[in-house]
Amino acid sequence: MMTKLFSRIACIAVVFAMATPTMAQKDEKDAAAKPAAKAKADGPKKETEKKETAKKEAAKPADEKKRSAVANPMLKAVEGLTLTAEQKPKVEEAAKEFTETILALRKEGLTQGLNKKKADAAKAAREAGKKGRELDAAVMSTIDATDEEKALLKKAEEANAKLAKTMGTVLTADQIATLPPQMQQALGVKKSAEKKPAAKKAA
């Protein structure tokens, strides 16, 4: 009797041992299938997000797309100001004209590399004590660029100057005062001179 009982227990143990690897393999398959199923489920979601982003980009006005392609610190700063109904169209027109000019110059050969060369030359000239027109002349004489490239840089400089002049006339003194000091100078605001102490009168 005991022998038969032990035989049955042994058979059950063998069957369980054979079933265990199969169950483990099933669990492994299920675990591997979950990430695949999640990726499959997320696929359409990501595609939908891409399409929505593309739609939003396509819905942007052409002028806004162009402005985003031309990074200009002054335009970026002015975007943060609260403009009046009279100021807004003037600022937008100036921004549009500037953007179109720069994009046209890029087609002619104005590159970021060329702008960097100019920035490096300007930095060296300032460190040498050059200012104003003397600084501009030093930049153009030392920059490693062809005459055609220098002409493009000059046109870009003129476009920036025109933009600054327009902003200087459109914005109020209070609005300009909220801009960074360097930008205020570009708009024609001079540094406030330090007050000298009054001379003592002779007794």
Residues 6+ apart with CB under 8 A from 49: none
Nearest Cα neighbor of 66 from 55, 78, 53, 75 is 75
CA distances from 81 to 8, 39, 85, 98, 160 (A): 88, 44, 13, 19, 19
Predicted pLDDT at 97: 95
What is the pLDDT confidence band of residue 45, given thresholds at 50, 70 and 90?
A: low
- Among 24-28, 73-77, 124-128, name the one with the lowest average pLDDT: 24-28
Predicted pLDDT at 8: 58
Predicted pLDDT at 188: 78
Average pLDDT over residues 15-37: 56
CB of 75 within 8 A of CB of 67? yes
CA distances from 148 to 1, 70, 85 (A): 108, 21, 41
pLDDT in tens, 163-188: 999 999 999 999 999 999 988 988 87
**Percentage of residues in the chain with pLDDT exceeding 90?**
47
Please state the domain extents for the chain: 62-186
pLDDT in tens, 132-162: 889 989 999 999 999 999 999 999 999 999 9
DSSP per position, 150-190: HHHHHHHHHHHHHHHHHHHHHS-HHHHHTS-HHHHHHTTPP
Predicted pLDDT at 182: 86
Predicted pLDDT at 31: 61
Beta carbons within 10 angstroms of residue 199's beta carbon: 6
Query: Does the pLDDT at position 126 exceed 70?
Result: yes
DSSP per position, 6-17: HHHHHHHHHHHH
Predicted pLDDT at 123: 94
CB of 146 within 8 A of CB of 124? no
What is the pLDDT confidence band of residue 15, given thresholds at 50, 70 and 90?
A: very low
**Which tokens go with 176?**
């300009």
Q: What is the pTM of this model?
A: 0.60
Output 130 or 13, whichever has higher pLDDT. 130
